[in-house]
Amino acid sequence: MKAVKVIVVLLILVVAGGMLALNMGKKVDVTWTTADYDSAMAKAKVNLDNRSTVGLESLALGRFTTSGRVSIDESFTSAEVTSVIAINDPAGAFTDTKVKFGTDGQGEVSFKVSKDFIDKVKNDPNLRNRILAQIPADGPRTLEQLLVAVIFSSAQTDLTGFTVDLLTGLAAGKPIYASGRLARSSSNSVEINVTSVRVGMISLPDETLRQVEYHTEQFVNNLISPENGFDIQELNVVDGKIYYKGTLPAEIRGTQLP
What pLDDT, on the 0 to 100 scale, is given for residue 21? 43
The C-alpha atoms of residue 226 and residue 125 are separated, in whole angstroms, by: 35
What pLDDT, on the 0 to 100 scale, is given for residue 223? 85
What pLDDT, on the 0 to 100 scale, is given for residue 14? 36
Query: How far separated are the first and last CA of the chain, in Å rounded?
Result: 57
pLDDT in tens, the chain (258 residues): 444 333 333 333 333 334 334 445 678 899 999 999 999 999 999 988 666 566 666 666 677 888 999 999 999 999 999 998 888 765 556 778 899 999 999 999 998 877 776 666 666 666 666 666 666 666 655 555 666 666 555 444 444 444 445 455 555 677 889 999 999 999 999 999 999 988 777 787 888 788 888 878 887 888 899 999 999 999 999 999 999 999 999 998 876 555
What pLDDT, on the 0 to 100 scale, is given for residue 8? 35
Whole-model pTM above 0.75? no
What pLDDT, on the 0 to 100 scale, is given for residue 131? 63
Do 241 and 75 meet the contact criterion of CB atoms below 8 Å apart? yes
What pLDDT, on the 0 to 100 scale, is given for residue 15? 36
Q: 160-180: b or e for each residue (b if 16 or more CB lie within 10 Å)?
A: eeebbebbbebbbbbbbbbbb
What pLDDT, on the 0 to 100 scale, is given for residue 238? 94
What pLDDT, on the 0 to 100 scale, is given for residue 143? 55
- Which residue type, as a one-letter code, is found at position 177? Y
Number of domains in the chain: 1
Do 26 and 206 meet the contact criterion of CB atoms below 8 Å apart? no
Domain that holds residue 74: 2-254
What pLDDT, on the 0 to 100 scale, is given for residue 13? 33
Tell me the backbone φ, ψ of residue 139, rounded to 5 degrees. 120, 170
What pLDDT, on the 0 to 100 scale, is given for residue 2? 40
What pLDDT, on the 0 to 100 scale, is given for residue 60? 62
The C-alpha atoms of residue 95 and residue 110 are separated, in whole angstroms, by: 9
What pLDDT, on the 0 to 100 scale, is given for residue 133? 65
